[in-house]
């Protein structure tokens, strides 16, 4: 009986890899969230969330009620700025530019 052979998997695609993984490494994201945290008073609603969103991908946030999906989306359009108790930290960029820069028009 022959010994089982070990194949070099470096030549085979990773079956669990994102279909655009190679392209994603070359592309710049349209929006990027880096270590985003949101507090509403003492409540730590979002904890260290990082996510790249590319213009030609469909992105869905899926999770149970109350897990922070809407709170995270509100960070992208700065709706949390209107909530007095909300404190947002981390970096959110649109086309490489921090959306919280003083020069960025929120309208």
Instruction: Return the closest-CA partner of residue 48 out of 81, 77, 84, 75.
Output: 75
Distances (CA, A) of 57 to 31, 72, 76, 88: 12, 18, 17, 26
Mean pLDDT of 20-38: 81
The pTM is what? Answer: 0.71
Higher pLDDT, 44 or 107: 44
Q: Does residue 20 have a pLDDT over 60?
A: no
What is the C-alpha to C-alpha distance for residues 24 and 27, in angstroms, rounded to an integer?
5
Question: What rounded mean pLDDT belongs to the chain?
Answer: 84
Distances (CA, A) of 51 to 29, 32, 85, 107: 9, 6, 24, 23
pLDDT band at residue 54 using 50, 70 and 90 as cut-offs: very high
Mean pLDDT of 16-24: 54
């Amino acid at each position: 009986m022959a010994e089982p052979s070990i194949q070099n998997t470096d030549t085979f695609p990773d079956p669990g890899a994102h279909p655009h993984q190679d392209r994603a490494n070359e592309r710049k994201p349209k929006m990027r969230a880096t270590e985003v945290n949101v507090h509403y008073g003492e409540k730590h609603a979002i904890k260290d969330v990082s996510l790249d969103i590319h213009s030609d991908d469909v992105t869905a946030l899926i999770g149970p009620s109350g897990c922070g999906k809407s709170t995270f989306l509100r960070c992208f359009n700065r709706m949390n700025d209107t909530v007095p108790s909300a404190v947002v930290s981390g970096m959110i960029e649109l086309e490489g530019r921090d959306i919280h820069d003083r020069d960025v028009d929120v309208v």
